[in-house]
Amino acid sequence: MNKPIQHEMPAGTLDAAAALRHASEQWDRDIVRQITDYIQIPAKSPGFDKDWAEHGYLEAVLRNAAAWVEAQKVDGLTLEIVRLPGRTPVLFFEIAATRPMSSQTVLMYGHLDKQPEFTGWRSDLGPWTPKYEDGKLYGRGGADDGYAVYASIAAVQALKAQQATHPRIVGLIETCEESGSYDLLPYIDALRPRLGDVSLVICLDSGAGNYDQLRLTTSLRGMASGTLKVEILTEGVHSGDASGLVPSSFRIMRQVLDRLEDSKSGRLLPESFHCEVPPERLLQARATAAILGDEVYKRFPWAHYDCGGSTAFALPTTTDPVQALLNRTWTPTLSVTGAEGFPALKDAGNVLRPYTAFKLSLRLPPLIDAGRAVQELKTLLEDNAPYQARVTFESNGGATGWNAPDTAPWFEQALNRASQAHFGTSCGYIGQGGTIPLMSMLSQGFPKAQMMVCGVLGPRSNAHGPNEFLHVPYAKKLTAAVAEVIAQLP
């Protein structure tokens, strides 16, 4: 007579259906409401709110999260808000191991600071006015990354509900990630003795290529950002009187940026900003492209317009799915994300403006050192300015990207088992174009740790932009999947 199927499963495997049921009940009963309250608080990252300490919004979301975690009364959990002078605070929690003789530690990460409002929200939506509609919770920060601390604790609760043993678990929730995590490294140094022997990192601040599969992030681009300013006059002058003699600060800006980028192709010109794509990442991109197809580029809200009775759409840089994935994960790319020195259109008179300033966001391939790139960028942009204009690049710092370590057999099996249980298909692997500065820090500090970098940012979730939403059904499954992977840590 055959043994029951549960006896054939590896030790530590959860009852997946029960774990999902427990997580879903927690989300429906409590977590959606908690994140709804969180969305209403304009807890902008310090890079976008220089008076963050006086405003108290970061403090409010951190205290609310801490109060909720403590209210769960998770067996073996201790918690504190850690503060270093002059820096944004972090939430640190620790859950004692229940697995006999285990010396391993699981580190769970998230952040509570948010991007600014941005424009273009649907008329019935707004960044600080949450709305729950068709399984999507709209509002700034819910998906990036307010849900992470709540989902992390819910995953632990799903483990404990089945009396599944687990190693020691610690949590680190910061409030500076959207500003480049410049406050985080001092906390990592201060808390290092309490982090322990980290064997598994769970970071719920990444993307999902779709909502039908567990997706592991295998690489993240780095970033170099700052403000490029071109000054040619001390004050604005009549454009009819001066143009043709006084060079336009905008034209000088274009010349300076031409040193960095081929404006026709978008290719970054310095070869030092490029790197070779590792063979395994190329294979993963091909496999992911075969699944996602043209959704890789169609998922963005392309501008459209009437063209002779038919609708025309703006076009991507490529329609090849493999190349599209590589372009957004392993290719350096320049974006201008803000401008200063321009009057609003309604106020624009015939004036030659004294200066032009652009906020630059340069995404770097995962293997490029951001510190070196920032220095090279400054030299490239400032040296030998046209017309001896005053050209300055004020850096906001850089964050080096991340390439995941080799996947251990147990980790791959655990991911596939969790994905099969909750999505009916194997785990997928995908690179992401965004930056999570912590991952590079942790990879250096814990080179043997496995990294479960996942998230809810799937098609049209639009983090940082208008109409950001948290896909709650996917978040429930991801929560249960996290519990499953922790249970299978050998």
Question: Are 180 and 206 contained in the same domain?
Answer: yes
Domain-located, residue 287 = no
What pTM, to 2 d.p., does this model score?
A: 0.89
**Same structural domain, 120 and 163:** yes
Do 77 and 206 have their domain in common? yes
78 by DSSP, 3-state: which? strand
CB 217 within 8 A of CB 207: yes
Q: Is residue 411 part of a domain?
A: yes
Instruction: Say whether both 254 and 156 belong to one domain.
Output: no
Same-domain status, 263 and 306: yes
305 and 344 both lie in a single domain: yes
CA distances to 20, 31, 50, 122, 137 from 133, rounded to whole Å, are 21, 16, 34, 13, 6
3-state helix, strand, coil in the chain (%, to 5): 35, 25, 40
Indicate if 326 and 419 belong to the same structural domain.
no
Identify the CATH number of the domain in which residue 91 sits: 3.40.630.10
Q: Show pLDDT as tens, one digit a residue, over the chain (490 residues).
A: 333 333 333 446 799 999 999 999 999 999 999 999 999 999 999 999 999 999 999 999 999 999 999 999 999 999 999 999 999 999 999 999 999 888 899 999 999 999 999 999 999 999 999 999 999 999 999 999 999 999 999 999 999 999 999 999 999 999 999 998 999 999 999 999 999 999 999 999 999 989 999 999 999 999 999 999 999 999 999 999 999 999 999 999 999 999 999 999 999 999 999 999 999 999 999 999 999 999 999 999 999 998 888 899 999 999 999 999 999 999 999 999 999 999 999 999 999 999 999 999 999 999 999 999 999 999 999 999 999 999 999 998 899 999 999 999 999 999 999 999 999 999 999 999 999 988 998 888 888 899 999 999 999 999 999 999 999 999 999 999 999 999 999 8
Q: How many domains does the chain have?
A: 2
Tell me, yes or no, whether 286 lies in a domain.
no
Tell me, yes or no, whether 295 lies in a domain.
no
Q: Among 399, 425, 454, where does a domain finish?
A: 399
Alpha carbon distances (Å) from 453 to 17, 22, 181, 184, 326: 23, 22, 17, 18, 18
My answer on whether 127 and 154 are in the same domain is yes
> Are 406 and 476 found together in one domain?
yes
Which residues constitute the domain of residue 100?
10-220+401-487
Is 289 inside a domain boundary? no
Domain end residue (candidates: 366, 399, 432): 399
Q: Are residues 216 and 229 in the same domain?
A: no
CA 102 to chain centre: 31
Q: CATH number of the domain that 305 lies in?
A: 3.30.70.360
Asked if residue 2 belongs to a domain, the reply is no
Place of tokens 């054939």: 8
- In a domain? residue 350: yes
The verdict on residue 68 lying in a domain is yes
Of 399, 424, 443, which one is at a domain's C-terminal end? Answer: 399
